[in-house]
Amino acid sequence: MKPETIKRLIELVQESEIDVLEVSSWGRKVKITRKQMAVNGSAPVATHQVVVPEAVIASAPAPAVAPQAASAESGAAVPSSNANWVEIKSPMIGTYYSSPSPESPVFAKVGDSVSEGTVVCIVEAMKLMNEIESEVSGKIVKALIENGQPVEFGQALFLVDINA
């Protein structure tokens, strides 16, 4: 998150009557908490902390390997089973859907070729349908979750062979 955004969030907490504000964006979480009123009667002060999940840090590859470096920037990680396979991960908690409606065809299935920006599924979170786009180009070799199942942040949804 940009420093300007964090500063604006702190200002919003100071201007409002809320005590805690948590915002997460692409694996980074910011928590802004209003401190209790000081004994001398001074105004409450907002503090903030930025949390980066260890999974995001641990998945960063060595910079000398180009395909992995490109996938790390997009939030994908290379599993150990095949160096050419990249995971498409869920950027949020929610419910996985393979198509926009039960009557519609699936967005992506095993054997389909995808490119960066191709919608591969939907994750519903708080009654909002969020289209999940592929962050890599290649061929889907494995679907790791079934329609209607709950997903966690960072959970792998598909394996993509980036050399196919």
Query: Measured at the alpha carbon of residue 88, what is the angle toward residues 82 and 93, in degrees to the nearest 5?
Result: 135
Contact call for residues 114 and 161 (beta carbons, < 8 A): no
Residue-level pLDDT at 52 = 46
Contact call for residues 131 and 62 (beta carbons, < 8 A): no
Query: Measured at the alpha carbon of residue 61, what is the angle toward residues 142 and 134, in degrees to the nearest 5?
Result: 40
Residue-level pLDDT at 25 = 67
Q: What's at 9, amino acid-wise? A: L
Structure tokens at 48: 């903030």
Contact call for residues 133 and 118 (beta carbons, < 8 A): yes
Residue-level pLDDT at 149 = 95
Residue-level pLDDT at 17 = 77
Residue-level pLDDT at 83 = 80
Residue-level pLDDT at 85 = 92
Residue-level pLDDT at 63 = 41
Chunked into runs of 10 residues, the chain (164 residues) has average pLDDT values of 74 78 71 62 49 43 40 42 86 93 92 92 90 92 94 94 85
